[in-house]
Amino acid sequence: MPRIAVVTDSTADIPGDAQERLGIEMVYLSVAWDGQSYRDKLDLTLPEFYKMMRQRSTLPTTAAPSAGHLEQLYERLLGEYDHIISVHLAGKLSATHGVAKSAGDRVGNGRVSVVDSGQMSMCLGWLAIRAAEMAAEGAGPAAIVEELESWVPRLRLYAVLDTLANVQRSGRIGRAQALVGALLNFKPLILIKEGQVFPVERPRSRATAMRRIVDVVANQGRVLKVGVANGDAPEIMGDLTQMVRERIPNAPVDQSDIGIVLGTHAGPGVFGVAALLAE
C-alpha cells in the first residue's frame, strides 16, 4: 500500500477534528496589516482578525506561502512517504497553487501531485479530507487525483456579505455602488465555483438572505455534502443550520468558521453554505 501524505493550505476550513485525525499537513498564508505580518491561523486567530477588521480603517493584504517553505515541507514528507497530494486554494484567486506546483516540480521528482481545488474554505477542506481518507484506504495517487478533480466542478460555495465596505475598499466594486447597497441594506449573495465569483441575488435583509441562500442550495439538485460557515456571525449559526437540515434532510451538515482570506474581502458578518452536488 503506498504511503501518501496530504497537504493543503490555511484557506481550507476543515470541519471538526479531521485535520488532526487524518494527519493533514497545512501550509499557512500570511497577512500583512499596518506594518505587521501574521501567519493565518497561527499568529492571528479568527476572533482577533474580525475584531481588528471592525476596528481598523485599513485592510490587510494576503500573501501565498513561500516557495522555500513548500520545498522544505515536501522534502521532509518525501523522506517519510512515497507520494504527496497537495490540494490548494483556487489558482484563479491566489498564487498559492502556482507556488505549490513549482515547488513540487523542483523537489518532487514526479512524487508530488498538486491539485487546483477551484475553491476555498470548507469546500477546500472537504477535498483535503477526501484525499486523506482515500490514502488511508490504500488508494494510489492517480486514483486520488482523479477523484478530487471529479469533485471540483460539483463544489459550490455560496456566501452572503453583511457589508459592502470591504469589497469597496478592496477595489472589487465602486464607492457609489457600495453606498447604494448600504442605503438599501443589500446583503449580496455570491457564488464561488471553479475559481470564479458570481453575483447571485441582492436580498434586502439578513433574514431574507438566510432563507434565500438555503433555497438556492436546495434547488441545485441532489446534494451529497452540505456545510454551514460563518465569519464573525456565530449568532446565526443555529438558525441557519436548522434551515439547512430541514431543506436538505438527507445530507449531513458540517460546520466551520470562514477564514481570513475570504474574510478580508467579504468583511465581518459574512456567512455561507457549501455543497457538493451529485452531478
> Which CA distances in Å does 217 have to 14, 70, 149, 186, 211?
20, 36, 21, 20, 10
Nearest C-alpha neighbor of 277 from the set 121, 129, 144, 126: 126
Rg (CA), the chain: 19
Name the more confident of 273 and 167: 273
Q: Where are the alpha helices (DSSP H) in the chain?
A: 18-22, 46-55, 67-78, 96-107, 121-136, 141-151, 165-169, 175-183, 206-218, 237-247, 260-266
Question: The cell 521528482 sits on which residue?
Answer: 109
Is pLDDT at 133 greater than 80 in this prediction?
yes
Q: How far is CA 169 from the centre of its chain?
A: 21
| Cα angle, residue 26 at apex, residues 20 and 32 outer, rounded to 5° | 130
How confident is the prediction for the chain on average, in pLDDT?
A: 90
pTM: 0.92
Class in CATH terms, 4-28+63-152: alpha beta
Q: Selecting from 3.30.700.30, 3.40.50.2000, 3.90.950.20, 3.30.1180.10, what CATH number does the domain 155-277 have?
A: 3.30.1180.10
pLDDT reported for residue 166: 54
- List CB contacts of 150: < 8 A, sequence separation 6 or more: none
Looking at residue 95, its pLDDT comes to 95
User: Domains of the chain: which residue ranges?
Assistant: 4-28+63-152, 155-277
105-117 average pLDDT score: 97
Write the CB contacts of 87 (distance below 8 Å, at least 6 apart in sequence).
6, 7, 8, 114, 115, 117, 124, 127, 128, 131, 148
State which amino acid sits at residue 199: P
Per-residue pLDDT band for 165 (boundaries 50, 70, 90) equals low
| 279 pLDDT higher than 50 | yes
Question: Average pLDDT of 161-188?
Answer: 53
How would residue 155 be classed by pLDDT, with cut points 50, 70 and 90? very high
Contact assessment for residue 277 and residue 219, using Cβ atoms and an 8 Å cutoff: no
Residue found by looking up cell 493565518 in the block: 40
| pLDDT of the residue at 185 | 61
pLDDT at 251 over 90: yes
Mean pLDDT of 72-93: 97
> Looking at residues 22-39, what average pLDDT do you find?
94
pLDDT band at 265 (very low <50, low <70, confident <90, very high): confident
Which pLDDT does position 180 carry in this prediction?
39
pLDDT reported for residue 183: 35
Closest C-alpha among 163, 159, 165, 160 to residue 59: 165
pLDDT of residue 100 exceeding 90: yes
State the pLDDT confidence band at 17, using cuts at 50, 70 and 90.
very high
**pLDDT of residue 182 exceeding 80:** no
Is it the case that residue 157 has pLDDT exceeding 90? yes
More confident call, 141 vs 182: 141
Answer whether residue 163 shows pLDDT above 80: no
Percent with pLDDT over 70 in the chain: 92
